[in-house]
Structure formats: structure tokens, C-alpha cells
Amino acid sequence: MQILTISDSHGKVNSIRLLLQRYCSQVQTVIHLGDNANDILQFQHEYPALNMVAVAGNSDFCTSVPKELILTLDTRRVLLMHGHSHNVKMSYDRLIYYAQEKGVDACLFGHSHIPAMFSHGSVFFMNPGSVSEPRGLSKAGYGIITISDGNITGKVYEL
């Protein structure tokens, strides 16, 4: 199973459109990790075969999407959140403890606009960066998660 992961689009959907065109036949799920989470949901009618999921970020004020979700994807429990409520710009400690407390296999988050990917214990973590407004020395990017034979791997790509 492959999952396209994006975050922090802030209303700029051109990159999302390009990614959906590129990956629509390769991925089964598309996840938006907040800050204009509805940006992904507007493409549902164009790509009905894709499972599109979004969580709200700190800039999502009038949205019906949840602040966090735990999905079961190919037998793996995956926590989705924006990350602002766990101060991911300062440290990953609170995020790591929270993911362990929830008993998940992976945690996907955004907020910092800077890509990150690491494992802590048996939990896989990924921040795909921002699809539209990168920060630091990063470039606009996205992530691809692969779940195969119970293993979770991923890669962050630049646009």
C-alpha cells in the first residue's frame, strides 16, 4: 500500500493538483496533515477511487475535519495530526511520547513546514514539509509512505 502525504498547503492547490495527477494510479490514500486541510477534499470528486483523509491544523478554523485521527492502514495503526498541539517546532519529545501512549505504528504530522523522517523505538514518524510554503533550507515537498508486509517506510520528495 502506498500513501501520498502532504501538509501546509495554505490554499495553494496547484501543487496538489500536480501530485494527484502524477500519483493517482500509484497510491491508494492521500493524507493532508492540516493548514487548509480542505484543499485536498475539493479533489474528491475528480479522484473518487482515492481515499482522501485530512486533519485540521492551527490555520483551519471553519472546517469539519477532525484535529487528529488514528487510521488502520494495511493492519498498521497510523496517527495523523498537524503537530502544533505538541510543539513540534521546538522538540519532538511530546510527539514521541504521545504516539507511544496511543500505541500507534506511525505518526504523520506537519506544522513546521520542514520535512523530517525518523523512527523512535518501533514508531515511524514523518513530516512531509509544506507542499506550498517551505521554510528553512527546505523546498516544497511531499511524502510517500509504503506499508508492505507489516513494515512502514517512507521518503520525502521535493516538488
pTM given for the model: 0.95
Among 145, 90, 143, 99, residue whose Cα is nearest residue 122: 99
Q: Output phi, psi for 25, to 5 deg.
A: -95, -5
Q: What's the CA angle centered on 151, arms 16 and 55, to 5 degrees?
A: 35
Which CATH code for domain 2-158? 3.60.21.10
User: Cα separation of 96 and 78, whole Å?
Assistant: 13
In whole numbers, what is the pLDDT of the chain averaged over residues? 95
pLDDT digits (tens, 9 = 90+) for 103-154: 999 999 999 999 999 999 999 999 999 999 888 888 999 999 999 999 999 9
Residue 71 has pLDDT above 90, yes or no: yes
User: Cα separation of 43 and 120, whole Å?
Assistant: 34
Residue 62 has pLDDT above 90, yes or no: no
Residue recorded with cell 494510479: 25
